[in-house]
Amino acid sequence: MADGISSFWGPVTSTTDCCEKNYVHSSYIAEFFNTISNIPSILFALIGLINALRQRFEKRFWVLHLSNMILAIGSMIFHATLQRVQQQSDETPMVWEMLLYMYILYSPDWHYRSTMPTFLFLYGAVFAAVHSVVRFKIGFKLHYVLLCLLCIPRMYKYYIYTKDSSAKRFARLYVASLFIGSLCWLFDRIFCEEITRWWINPQGHALWHLLMGFNSYFANTFLMFCRSEQRGWAPKIVYFLGILPYVKIEKPKDQ
């Protein structure tokens, strides 16, 4: 949304401009709240990455946490600049991240082990190449929603087969944060014209970022627990300093 002081990055060239006045707090940051609201996502991803490396989880999980971190950093760069070239640093990692979630969810039951990662890698590479040329608008959003919907059936299957109540709570928190975050995103998009006349902007898009940081951490924790059960690693949910939950495992000595 145009307004505010002079821009260090020049005119807005992105196809998306959220309902936050541009360059209000700094000439170097176009959308201040939409930028800093990605910081919790980076911190949660860093914590998850450290836990995955420390306990020697499978490579897919530390790559997943790293992907969450890259996505949040890309989102910060995009909202700070609102430049078309930086928009890809936000949208392309969103698609890559969902492809990684699909791999983690479906690969345990996939009989041809090399087929799925090869297909998903090629799909992600082709999308990145096409997206660098074509300016997707509503098409990108519909594509992203479709990828999310493809993950839901397997998440539900894991949920009904998981007996641990603490782990199931993370699955419910994942759904709740996704639902509330989506409402914040829609509210910000649909009622932007009315919001601009309010004394205080509720910053719906920034709330979406914040809730997606929690959402990713909940999803990752639940998936790490389920995969640990599949591998026979006796997982349990514990809390660091009585606050931050994470998955603790006990691998058999032969692993």
- How many residues in the chain? 255
Which residue ranges make up the annotated binding site for Ca(2+)?
17, 20, 22, 31
Say if residues 209 and 39 touch (Cβ distance below 8 Å): no
**What spatial distance separates the first Cα and last Cα of the chain, rounded to whole Å?**
54
Say which residues have a Cβ less than 8 Å from residue 84's Cβ, sequence separation at least 6: 13, 14, 15, 135
Nearest to 158 by CA among 176, 146, 175, 171: 171
Which residue ranges make up the annotated binding site for Zn(2+)?
79, 205, 209
CB atoms near residue 241 (< 10 Å): 5
The half-sphere exposure of 229 on its side-chain side, counting CA atoms within 13 A, is: 14
Please give the helix or strand (H or E) that residue 237 lies within, else none: strand 236-240
Joined together, the tokens standing for residue 155 give 């998440």
From CA 123, how far away is CA 106, in angstroms rounded? Answer: 16
From CA 159, how far away is CA 97, in angstroms rounded? Answer: 21
Which residue ranges make up the annotated binding site?
17, 20, 22, 31, 79, 205, 209
Instruction: Estimate the crossing angle of helix 84-106 against helix 59-81, to 10 degrees.
Output: 160
Q: How far is CA 247 from the centre of its chain?
A: 19
